[in-house]
Structure 1
Amino acid sequence: MTQETTIPSARRTELLEAAYRYALDHGLTDLSLRPLASAIGSSPRVLMFLFGNKDGLVRSLLARARTDELALLGELGVADAASPIGLNAATERLWGWLAAGEHRPLLRLWVEAYARSLVEPDGAWAGFAQSTVEDWLSVLAGCQRRSERDSARGAARRTLALAVLRGGLLDLLATGDEARVTAAVHAQVGLLGGERRPGSGGDQSR
């Protein structure tokens, strides 16, 4: 690989990280290349060269946010095929992560991108909402025993768990009332039902 190809790649990575930090503080809805370039020590012309156009930059930022989100979810250790912790415990642990104040910038960016993806399905945001739903359902599936994970009931339970987490997050971001929303999430977890053990005729908690 020549020096000419490695330098733009390194510069692109550097500017993407700087632009991502900017997006966490300022959002993406009203993103303008000129103020962004000025803030990160670049120029609109360089950004256009490295990312193609504004849509290309937005797509790169969304991919970067998704990578960050998946990495943080992975660090929670909720999905372990060898010893799944169960959907109820996983939902409570995931909520603790969502409710943490230091994650608000990333989650506000996630909600913004999720909403834009729904109203602009053919733009730079295309597919983001569906991808993030699939990401979270995959994490939740990894918390279930295989016998439940592969069943219609298991799919319904993790879909409900995701709905509870997403609804709680929207409420928390809107109101900041962590105590009330956390109490509601924990109450709903109690209504998810227990994981069925193999050979069991009914629901049992872990």
Structure 2
Amino acid sequence: MGRRPQPHIKERLLDACADHALAHGLPDRLEPLATATGTSARMLIYHFGTRDALLRAVLRRARQRQLDAFGGLLRARPDEPYTVTLDRAWTSITGLDGRPYLRMFGQLRESAGQQLWPDFRRAATTDWLGPLEDGLRSIGRPELATLVLAVIRGLLMDLDATGDTARTDRAFRDFLAAVEHLPSDDSSAAHRSPEATSRGEPQPTRRSGPPSPG
């Protein structure tokens, strides 16, 4: 009779593998993970089936940790402006707590990583839109979620390529300062003339986001 699956052991192994991968990067072999978990490659295969299945499980466990941690950072707080919340989130995402996730998921841009999680690039974008929309709703601008996410992703790519923390930090704070001075959605309605509104005349459509340069 074969051994019965032991879910608690599998979960413990998965957490230990995720810890190792976040600290050292996702390995392409089982041996580093076996050493980190104090078991053997054969036992990892027993619990997870194949090497790729284990690596996919490690990526998803690490991603869930990231979503839990950063989702909390992006949540609006009643005692502070949301731009302050975003500033704190940026500091954590780019700091010691966030770098292991950036390093790990940066690997998924490479061809080998994409095979492990082909849909990751789309998920890595859409996962954050909901939390950002909820947070930006606190200042009446949920439609800015795509713009804010695009700025964050772009600056993270810049930071990864250049390592220039001071410049990217300054750029993000300049962006937040611009967001603070944007009118809320209902302010444009407040500036309409009562006569035009009563006549049902079409009103100019206000563009979302800061004005484009030049």
1:8-87 equivalences under 5 Å are: 8-28=6-26, 30-76=27-73, 78-79=75-76
Whether 1:94 aligns to 2:73 is: no
User: Which amino acid in structure 2 is aligned with residue 194 of structure 1?
Assistant: L
Residue segments in structure 2 that go unaligned for 5+ positions in a row: 192-205, 207-214
- Tell me the matched-pair count: 187
The match for 2:172 is 185
TM-score (norm 1): 0.76
Partner of 1:134: 126
1:38 positional shift? 2.4
Q: Is the 8 A contact 2:159 2:168 kept in 1?
A: yes
Q: Distance in 2 between matches of 1:43 and 1:135?
A: 34
Residue 111 of structure 1 deviates from its aligned partner by 1.9
96 and 178 in structure 1: CA distance in 2 versus 1, 3 angstrom threshold? same
Alignment correspondent of 1:105: 100
Structure 1 stretches lacking a partner, 5+ long = none
Question: What is the TM-score of this pair, normalised by structure 2?
Answer: 0.73
Aligned partner of 1:161 in structure 2 is 148
Alpha-carbon distance between aligned partners in 2 of 1:67 and 1:122, rounded to the nearest angstrom? 18
CA distance 1:135–1:167, shift in 2 (3 Å): same
Aligned residues: percent identity? 33
Query: Given residue 56 of structure 1, which amino acid in structure 2 is its aligned partner?
Result: A
Residues 141 and 184 of structure 2 are in contact (CA less than 8 Å); yes or no, is this contact kept in structure 1? Answer: yes
- How much is the aligned-residue C-alpha RMSD, in angstroms? 2.9
Larger RCO, structure (CA 8 Å, separation 6 or more)? 1
- CA deviations 1:74-106 (Å, max 9, x no partner) are 3325247xx697764443232122222232112
